[in-house]
């Protein structure tokens, strides 16, 4: 309960008149900005503006201090109603409303077509329907852990309710009894293609109640009803509340009302004049047309994510050759080790795989900070991203195909929102073995290369895994740490000493030269490192010296190591990954851009979906065994 929100027991009459007036002004703003831009979504913006006017008036949100830690949060899951959001925020003093109207959807403007968090008062970038709700669940979880006296409001569309991710999120919100979370559905019963009832049957009240939510059905244009429902959800409810607000698309303009045509179509200038006349608003459209022609660099002070307290990462663990464990086990041990020194600072998410991804011990010891979300990866990706912005070191561990391939779009929106999520993915590549092609994640580098800021790390062995997890624990940003399923040999130096020993600190982007050589260079990572080292040993018997390089940061080029390796004349990329979008393509792009013509590059990788069987046999079938590498080196050395 937020004692600073919705303080009145009943809404004062004078406030109702003020709300009516500001909502009417906002409807005019919505129509002007979409017409001046020539595009946008006026219909749903006009149906939801009475809801938004009430929330922003009485929630604990301050235009003079929009970044206060214990503020209420308003997440707009249906991000296309940005005209409504910008208009009410502008009218409430967050910024100059004239700028929002004139520069809506203009290239370079923060007032983008879907809500953008560069705009004061906007908490999250949204637009991919369903994801805003999940992110809001993460925010509400964080506020509960932080014991903040705040409430999270999620504004959603009715067509949006058709998405499966919505179902996942409402289950999770109820499981964790998020009484500090309210959903307000703009139930105008229309979507792009027509009636929601014709497009996809849904019984929203029954569906929410079936997952344990309390449901309130109201007239979404009755300010008294809106206020009462919201106040109840903040001050009285003991579980999450869904408010179904019955509204009319295009509310306020007769020729727009209840017509899906206006979901995503702006008015012509003639129709704008007619609509503004009906609303009783002066048509000053020309003012905004002229203003739009002038360039203006609009920048606002950004709300920074709630800072994570400094994480104590001391206590490196060093394994020796007698230790038989995989990288995923090393991750679990390091996670527990860090958690013991940083109680209350770490949150971990799992999707029914805690035993396999090695988060079970953390779950047993720190159950209040462990979130078992079941087989619901889409919500897991978004919820963990939302929570990561709010003061917790956040890990989400899963199998590679579920943590990357399945949730690409969710991770993309996380990156857009500059979340601080650490994704730990086990079971990468053919190393998965017997589970077969459906579970062999072989495209993760290609997918992450499509992003701009996500960092990818593939540790070589349990010792490097330990150092990697410690490294990312004190680094802001989104990280993906990947590993195979099988146990990993401990990497040693030429003299038999541990390579990634206690003196080693991981540095993102830096390669590790595991063996020197001057006849050829193999660039590899993950499980195939052991095979490359074995190939190095075999080739020495034929007086061939293979340089072995561990590429633990495969999205990056370590120019120093690559330049030093040019002398060998032959580069071989050797990876348990799709050969067409893996590290080989990254290295070849670099060599081409540098215009190197004195180096031969050979790519070894996976060129078809894998089989089911022991991973060593699968490597041989794919042409990735030790002997395959030996033959490739001999074939290509000069």
Which tens digit of pLDDT belongs to each residue from 302-343? 888 888 889 999 999 999 988 989 999 999 999 999 999 999
- Encode pLDDT of 106-139 as tens digits: 999 999 999 999 999 999 999 999 999 999 999 9
- Encode pLDDT of 441-472 as tens digits: 999 999 999 999 999 999 999 999 999 999 99
State residue 163's pLDDT score: 97
- Encode pLDDT of 169-215 as tens digits: 999 999 999 999 999 999 999 999 999 999 999 999 999 999 999 99
Whole-prediction pTM: 0.96
Side-chain half-sphere CA neighbours of 464 within 13 A: 29
Residues of the chain with CATH 3.40.50.920: 512-636
State residue 308's pLDDT score: 85
In Å, how far from its chain's centre is CA 127?
13
State residue 625's pLDDT score: 98
Mean pLDDT, rounded, for 10-20: 96
Q: What is the CATH number of domain 327-482?
A: 3.40.50.970
Phi and psi of 496, rounded to 5°?
A: 90, -10
Residue with tokens 């991770």: 411
Helices (H), ranges, 430-515: 444-449, 462-473
Q: Count CB atoms within 10 A of the CB of residue 1.
A: 15
- Kindly state the tokens that stand for 397: 């561990």
Cα 587 to Cα 297: distance, rounded to the nearest angstrom: 38
Sequence-distant contacts of 616-622: CB under 8 A, at least 24 apart: 618/430, 618/433, 619/430, 619/528, 619/531, 619/576, 622/430
State residue 582's pLDDT score: 98
- Of all helices (H) and strands (E), which one includes residue 346? strand 346-350
Mean pLDDT of the chain: 97
Phi and psi of 3, rounded to 5°?
A: -70, -15
Q: Count CB atoms within 10 A of the CB of residue 219.
A: 13
Question: pLDDT above 90 covers what percent of the chain?
Answer: 96
Q: Is the pLDDT of residue 607 over 90?
A: yes
- Encode pLDDT of 376-412 as tens digits: 999 999 999 999 999 999 999 999 999 999 999 999 9
Cα 634 to Cα 638: distance, rounded to the nearest angstrom: 9
State residue 3's pLDDT score: 67
The domain defined by 512-636 carries CATH number 3.40.50.920:
yes
Cα 179 to Cα 149: distance, rounded to the nearest angstrom: 12
Q: Count CB atoms within 10 A of the CB of residue 97.
A: 20
Cα 524 to Cα 579: distance, rounded to the nearest angstrom: 12
pLDDT band at 2 (very low <50, low <70, confident <90, very high): low
Q: Is the pLDDT of residue 24 over 80?
A: yes
Q: Are 371 and 386 in contact (CB under 8 A)?
A: no
Residue 404: DSSP 8-state? I
Give residues with Cβ within 8 angstroms of 210, minimum separation 6.
none
In Å, how far from its chain's centre is CA 145?
20
Cα 518 to Cα 538: distance, rounded to the nearest angstrom: 15
Cα 468 to Cα 480: distance, rounded to the nearest angstrom: 11
- Kindly state the tokens that stand for 64: 């003079």
Q: Is 616 helix (H, G, I), strand (E, B) or coil?
A: helix
- Encode pLDDT of 50-109 as tens digits: 999 999 999 999 999 999 989 999 999 999 999 999 999 999 999 999 999 999 999 999
Strand 241-246 relative to strand 181-187: parallel, antiparallel, unpaired? parallel
Q: Count CB atoms within 10 A of the CB of residue 232.
A: 16
Mean pLDDT, rounded, for 259-279: 98
State residue 592's pLDDT score: 95
Cα 245 to Cα 13: distance, rounded to the nearest angstrom: 21
Helices (H), ranges, 261-392: 269-279, 285-293, 327-341, 354-357, 360-365, 377-388
Residues of the chain with CATH 3.40.50.970: 13-293, 327-482
CATH class of 13-293: alpha beta
Reported residue count of the chain is 638
- Encode pLDDT of 343-384 as tens digits: 999 999 999 999 999 999 999 999 999 999 999 999 999 999
Q: CA Rg, the chain, in Å?
A: 28
Residue with tokens 């235009």: 63
Q: Are 305 and 142 in contact (CB under 8 A)?
A: no
Question: pLDDT above 70 covers what percent of the chain?
Answer: 100
State residue 475's pLDDT score: 96
Residue with tokens 């805003």: 132
Cα 378 to Cα 183: distance, rounded to the nearest angstrom: 19
């Amino acid at each position: 309960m937020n004692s600073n929100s919705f303080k009145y027991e009943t809404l004062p009459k004078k406030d109702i008149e003020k709300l009516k007036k500001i909502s009417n002004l906002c409807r005019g703003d919505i129509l002007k900005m979409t017409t001046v831009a020539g595009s946008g979504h006026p219909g749903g913006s006009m149906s939801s503006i009475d809801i938004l006017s009430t929330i922003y008036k009485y929630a604990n949100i301050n235009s003079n201090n929009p970044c206060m830690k214990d503020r209420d949060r308003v997440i707009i899951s249906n991000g296309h109603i940005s005209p409504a959001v910008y208009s009410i925020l502008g009218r409430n003093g967050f910024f100059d409303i004239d700028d929002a109207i004139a520069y809506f959807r203009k290239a370079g403007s923060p007032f983008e077509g879907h809500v953008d968090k560069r705009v004061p008062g906007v908490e999250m970038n949204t637009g991919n329907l369903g994801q805003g709700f999940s992110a809001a669940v993460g925010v509400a979880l964080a506020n509960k852990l932080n014991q903040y006296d705040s409430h999270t409001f999620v504004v959603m569309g009715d067509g949006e309710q058709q998405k499966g991710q919505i179902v996942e999120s409402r289950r999770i919100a109820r499981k964790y009894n998020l009484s500090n979370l309210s959903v307000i559905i703009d139930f105008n019963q229309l979507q792009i293609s027509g009636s929601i009832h014709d497009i996809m049957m849904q019984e929203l009240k029954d569906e929410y109640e079936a997952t344990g939510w309390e449901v309130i059905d109201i007239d979404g244009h009755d300010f008294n009803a809106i206020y009462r429902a919201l106040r109840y959800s903040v001050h009285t409810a003991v579980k999450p509340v869904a408010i179904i607000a019955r509204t009319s698309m295009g509310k306020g303009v007769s020729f727009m009302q209840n017509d899906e045509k206006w979901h995503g179509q702006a008015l012509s200038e003639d129709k704008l004049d007619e609509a503004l006349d009906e609303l009783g608003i002066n048509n000053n459209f020309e003012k905004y047309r002229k203003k739009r022609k002038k360039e203006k660099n609009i920048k606002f002070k950004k709300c920074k994510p709630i800072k994570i307290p400094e994480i104590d990462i001391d206590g490196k663990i060093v394994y020796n050759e007698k230790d038989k464990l995989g990288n995923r086990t090393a991750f679990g041990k390091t996670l527990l080790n860090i958690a013991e020194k940083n109680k209350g600072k770490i949150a971990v998410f799992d999707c029914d795989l805690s035993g396999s991804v090695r988060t079970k011990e953390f779950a047993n010891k720190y159950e209040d900070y462990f979130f078992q979300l079941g087989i619901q990866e889409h919500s897991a990706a978004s919820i963990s991203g939302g929570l990561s912005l709010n003061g917790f070191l956040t890990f989400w561990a899963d199998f590679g195909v579920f943590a990357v391939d399945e949730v690409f779009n969710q991770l993309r929106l996380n990156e857009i929102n500059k979340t601080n999520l650490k994704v730990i993915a086990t079971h990468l590549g053919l190393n998965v073995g017997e589970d077969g092609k459906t579970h062999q994640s072989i495209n993760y580098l290609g997918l992450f290369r499509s992003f701009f800021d996500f960092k990818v790390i593939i540790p070589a062995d349990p010792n490097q895994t330990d150092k990697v997890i410690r490294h990312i624990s004190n680094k802001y940003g989104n990280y993906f740490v990947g590993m195979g399923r099988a146990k990993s040999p401990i990497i040693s130096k030429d003299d038999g000493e541990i390579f990634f020993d206690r003196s080693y600190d991981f540095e993102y982007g830096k390669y590790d030269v595991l063996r020197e050589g001057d006849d050829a260079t193999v660039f590899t990572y993950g499980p195939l490192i052991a095979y490359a080292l074995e190939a190095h040993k075999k080739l020495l018997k034929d007086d061939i010296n293979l340089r072995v390089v561990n590429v633990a940061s495969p999205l990056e080029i370590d120019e120093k190591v690559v330049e030093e390796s040019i002398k060998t004349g032959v580069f071989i990329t050797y990876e348990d990954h799709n050969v067409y979008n893996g590290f080989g393509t990254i290295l070849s792009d670099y060599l081409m851009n540098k215009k190197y013509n004195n180096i031969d590059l050979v790519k070894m990788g996976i060129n078809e979906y894998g089989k089911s069987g022991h991973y060593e046999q699968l490597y041989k079938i794919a042409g990735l065994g030790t002997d395959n590498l030996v033959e490739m080196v001999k074939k290509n050395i000069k």
